[in-house]
Amino acid sequence: MRRLAPAVTATLFGILLGGPALAGDVDQRALDRVKAPPLGLPPVAIPAGDPVTAEKIALGRKLFFDRRLSHNGTISCAMCHVPEQGFTVNELATAVGIEGRTVRRNAPTVLNAGYQRSMFHDGRDTSLETQVLAPLVDRNEMGNPSLGYVIAVIKGLSDYAGRFEKAFGQPAAVAPLGRAIAAWERTLLAANSPFDRWHFGGDASAVSDAVKRGYALFSGKAGCTVCHTVEDDHALFTDHQFHATGIGYRNAYATSPDDPVRIQVAPGKYIVVKRRDLGPISEPPPADVGRYEVTLDPEDRWKYKTPSLRNVALTAPYMHDGSLATLRDVVTFYNVGGIPHPGLSPVIRPLGLSHAEIGDIVAFLESLTAGNIVELVNDARSIKVGNVGD
């Protein structure tokens, strides 16, 4: 499933066409979510001295959807974290930034980002508040010349007049900018999935038998919960650690100019070329050594953060480089033991899952789609995209 299932999409559109919810309403519901997260999620940690308020949420949402926050007015946070595409991008393996520049990794979802203990696939940042600032001035993402420049732009936009003052008691500045977006992101709590209603809610009819079998395999024979952890009363499906599956290693060493590249030229029609044929029309692919880039410890080469698996059916394609297209591809990847190399996590090994067992695990992963996803998309789309000339 690349996108939302058609039924879900139809519902989303139906509700969206019903007209935007009243602004105050969405903010209040967002506040309610933070106070009482949906079934399956633990309490949200709020930074000391910075309570989440309706003003901060509304301001953060507006900033997140504002294309004027990039140097040439084309890219907002939401262009790479698209609400209807699981708050990531289903249409790209790796992200595309300002002026089409190459971003080397797949955009992760910002759903439930408030629970992340480190930010990015390599965990190089430590909080939502500081994470916000990175894409704004990253040359390949939003391309602003400096943070001061961004603040000056915001101060010059009449629709922001008084907004920072009201939310933070101070004019627009770098720290409140980060705090505003982080405040809204913390409200994107997506759970109460069929799995949650069954596993934590005790509703045996919430999921199919396939899902139940899949979860037994996930937490048993397949060993997935070693890294994608599940607690007694909630589950984030991540140990917040970094592991090597071999994909990073393969990209660094195990590719050859003779590798075939299958190019889809029309639905169901492919042309196979060699990687070297793409040379004259490609920039050199950027390197990616994973967690090592942060710690400089050779042990950490090609390790990436364990992602949460919540809403994973909505966030294809998968892994830090978007190289696996479907959940079946991912489970099949684990079933063969990942890509063997010296740094491979010892937990990743051939699993001997049958075709049917793989199907069950996929069914389980698909049961992790939040019951409140439509509410979250509506929350996101309650604000008009900010554009030059508004």
Partner 1 sequence: MIRSIGKTVFTAAAVAALLSAPAWLAPPAAADETCMSPYMAKITGQEDFVYVWTLGANGIGDESDKLVTIDVRPGSASYGKVVASLSVGGQNEAHHSGFTDDRRYLWAAGLDTSKIFIFDVHSDPAKPRLHKTIDDFVSKSGGVVGPHTTYALPGRMMITGLSNDKDHGGRTALVEYTNEGELVATHWMPTKDDPRGAEVGKVADGYGYDIRALPRRNVMITSSFTGWSNYMMDFGKMLADGEAMKRFGQTVAIWDLHTRQPRKVLDVPGAPLEIRFAWGPNHNYAFTTTALTSKIWLIHEDAKGEWQAEAVADVGDPSKIPLPVDISISYDDTELWVDSFMDGTVRVYDITDPFAPKEKYKKVIGKQLNMLSSSWDNKRKYFTSSLLARWDKRGDDNEQYFKAFDWNGSELVHKFSIDFTAEKLGRPHQMRFGAYSLYGKRADLPTKAEPVHHAAAKIE
List the single partner that 267 binds among ligand HEC, partner 1, none, CB under 5 to 8 Å by kind.
partner 1
**Residue 72 lies near partner 1 (rule: CB under 8 A):** yes
- The per-residue DSSP string of 327-356 comes to HHHHHHHHHTTS---TT--TT-------HH
From CA 187, how far away is CA 183, in angstroms rounded?
Answer: 7
List the single partner that 245 binds among partner 1, ligand HEC, none, CB under 5 to 8 Å by kind.
ligand HEC
**Residue 73 lies near partner 1 (rule: CB under 8 A):** yes
Nearest to 81 by CA among 29, 27, 119: 119
Q: Restricting to residues 6-25, which ones interact with partner 1 according to CB under 8 A?
A: 10, 13
Whats the size of the chain, residue-wise?
A: 390
Work out how close the CB of 148 gets to ligand HEC at its nearest, in angstroms, rounded to a whole number: 16
Given the rule CB under 6 A, which residues bind ligand HEC? 64, 75, 77, 79-81, 95, 97, 103, 105, 107-108, 110, 113, 116, 119-122, 128, 131-132, 135-136, 141-142, 181, 218, 222-224, 226-228, 243, 245, 247, 304, 306-307, 309, 312, 315, 318-320, 327, 330-331, 334, 345, 347-348, 361, 365
Take residue 292 and report the two structure tokens written for it. 């090592």
List the single partner that 369 binds among partner 1, ligand HEC, none, CB under 5 to 8 Å by kind.
none
* Residue 186 backbone phi and psi in degrees, to 5: -65, -20
List the single partner that 224 binds among ligand HEC, partner 1, none, CB under 5 to 8 Å by kind.
ligand HEC
From CA 65, how far away is CA 386, in angstroms rounded?
Answer: 6
**Residue 283 lies near partner 1 (rule: CB under 8 A):** yes
Three-state DSSP at 318 gives strand
Nearest to 274 by CA among 286, 258, 285, 288: 258
Q: Using the rule CB under 8 A, which residue among 43, 156, 279, 352 binds partner 1?
A: 279
From CA 358, how far away is CA 387, in angstroms rounded?
Answer: 45
H helices of 133-173, in order, are 133-137, 147-156, 163-168
- Of 28-36, 176-184, 186-194, 315-323, which part binds partner 1 (CB under 8 A)? 315-323
Q: Do the beta carbons of residue 193 and residue 40 sit within 8 Å?
A: yes
**Residue 287 lies near partner 1 (rule: CB under 8 A):** no
Q: Using the rule CB under 8 A, which residue among 285, 337, 359, 371 binds partner 1?
A: 285
**Residue 252 lies near partner 1 (rule: CB under 8 A):** no
List the single partner that 91 binds among partner 1, ligand HEC, none, CB under 5 to 8 Å by kind.
partner 1
Alpha carbon 144 to its chain's center: 23
From CA 240, how far away is CA 219, in angstroms rounded?
Answer: 17
CB atoms within 10 A of CB 344: 18
Footprint of partner 1 on this chain (CB under 8 A)? 2, 10, 13, 67, 72-74, 79, 82, 84-85, 89-94, 96, 99-100, 102, 261-267, 269, 271, 273, 275, 278-283, 285, 316-317, 322, 325, 385, 387-390
